Structures are given as structure tokens and as C-alpha cells.
């Protein structure tokens, strides 16, 4: 179910969007694939069941990104940047997803209950990070204003070199490591992450 009411002027993406400005919400329909490059969406982005969303350099999303039962969501930068004004939620997706590179998320990042991996690398998060119940590998390397929760992931969890304004809490994971360096945490390091 989409987290906002459908409107007739919502834009549907079923291919590539380059240098586009979408005034309003963007939808990736069921089973479709969408690539956003050097584009702006003033509203929210909804990724429907079985769909794929890829976001590359110089993209601004004014609102939230919400994916539930999708195939994958991937955000990667090479020389550019990505800005999300709201929250990012990736839930119950087949291949999972996440981000890597110069990415700013003003709100929260949530990656829960995915069959694949979940990556959160090199970003700046204004809220909290929650990565729980994923079947694949987990990677978290960020600057995070709020709290970080890493729980019940069955793949190895790499929680390294984060700068965290709140608490770092880890429990029930197959394994948690910090191969890239220790985390700097203003609050408490708890559970499996107590020594990281």
C-alpha cells in the first residue's frame, strides 16, 4: 500500500529519466525498472511490488522513498551526489538494496525484512538507522545524527567507522565486525556492538 493517496498527476517511471524535473510524486509500477540520473522529484517516490529503482549522480528527492515487496533499490554516486529530503524505507524486497557514496538523507533510513543484502555506506543521515531481519550481508559506514539498530540479520554485519550521535545497538545477528575501523558513538554501544 502506498503511504500517500494516489493522484492523477503522479508520474510513472518504467525506464530511464535523465535531467528530468518531476513536480509531485514518482511511482515505479509493479514489475517495472526505473533509472534516475541528474533529476529532481519534488514529492515522494514509491517502488511497487517486484519493481527496481536505481538512482545515480545528482538526484534530489524532496520527500520520502518507500519500497515494499520490491525487487531492489540501489542508490550509488560516482562524482555526484544524492539528496533525500525525507525518509528512506526498503522493506520485504527480494534483492534488498541500499546506498553507497555521497548521499544525504534528512530523515531516517530503514532496511528491514529483505531477502537480500542491505548496504548503507558513506552517507550522512539526519535521523536514525534501522537495519533488521535481513537475510544477506549488512554494511553500515556513515555519519548518523540519531541512533543505529542492527538486529537479527543472518548475513555477516559490517558496522565500521561510523560517527553516531545517539546509541549503537546490535543483537541477534549471525556476526558483527568492524574491519574498517572502530565506531565513534556519542551515546552507548550495546549488545554485539559493545566492543566496536
- In this model, does residue 3 exceed pLDDT 60? no
Q: How confident is the model at residue 8 (pLDDT cuts 50, 70, 90)?
A: low
Q: H helices within 76-144, ranges in order?
A: none
Does pLDDT of 7 surpass 80?
Answer: no
Confidence label for 1 from pLDDT (cuts 50, 70 and 90): very low
In the chain, where the domains are located: 14-191
CA 176 to chain centre: 19
Chain centroid to CA 72 = 11
For residue range 35-73, list pLDDT tens digits in order.
999 999 999 999 999 999 999 999 999 999 999 999 999
Cβ 101 vs Cβ 78: under 8 Å: yes
Residue holding cell 525498472? 33
Between CA 167 and CA 128 the distance in angstroms is 10
pTM score over 0.85: yes
> What pLDDT digit, counting tens, does each position of 122-181 carry?
999 999 999 999 999 999 999 999 999 999 999 999 999 999 999 999 999 999 999 999
Parallel, antiparallel or unpaired: strands 163-164 and 184-185: parallel
- Residue identified by cell 574491519 is 179
Cα 185 off chain centre by? 21
Neighbours of 179 (CB within 10 A): 9
pLDDT, position 78: 87
Q: How far is CA 38 from the centre of its chain?
A: 19
Closest CA to 60 of 124, 103, 31, 4: 103
| Predicted pLDDT of residue 50 | 98
Amino acid at each position: 500500500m502506498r503511504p500517500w493517496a494516489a493522484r492523477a498527476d503522479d508520474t510513472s517511471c518504467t525506464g530511464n529519466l535523465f535531467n528530468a524535473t518531476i513536480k509531485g510524486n514518482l511511482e515505479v509500477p509493479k514489475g517495472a525498472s526505473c533509472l534516475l540520473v541528474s533529476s529532481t522529484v519534488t514529492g515522494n517516490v514509491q517502488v511497487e511490488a517486484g519493481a527496481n529503482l536505481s538512482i545515480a549522480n545528482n538526484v534530489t528527492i524532496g520527500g520520502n522513498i518507500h519500497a515494499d515487496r520490491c525487487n531492489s533499490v540501489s542508490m550509488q554516486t560516482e562524482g555526484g551526489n544524492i539528496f533525500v529530503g525525507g525518509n528512506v524505507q526498503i522493506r520485504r524486497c527480494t534483492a534488498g538494496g541500499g546506498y553507497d557514496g555521497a548521499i544525504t538523507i534528512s530523515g531516517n533510513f530503514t532496511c528491514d525484512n529483505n531477502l537480500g543484502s542491505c548496504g548503507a555506506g558513506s552517507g550522512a543521515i539526519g535521523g536514525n538507522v534501522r537495519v533488521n531481519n535481513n537475510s544477506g550481508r549488512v554494511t553500515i559506514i556513515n555519519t548518523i545524527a540519531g541512533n543505529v539498530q542492527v538486529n537479527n540479520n543472518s548475513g555477516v554485519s559490517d558496522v565500521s567507522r561510523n560517527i553516531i550521535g545517539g546509541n549503537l545497538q546490535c543483537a541477534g545477528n549471525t556476526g558483527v565486525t568492524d574491519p574498517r575501523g572502530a565506531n565513534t558513538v556519542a551515546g552507548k554501544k550495546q549488545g554485539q556492538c559493545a566492543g566496536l
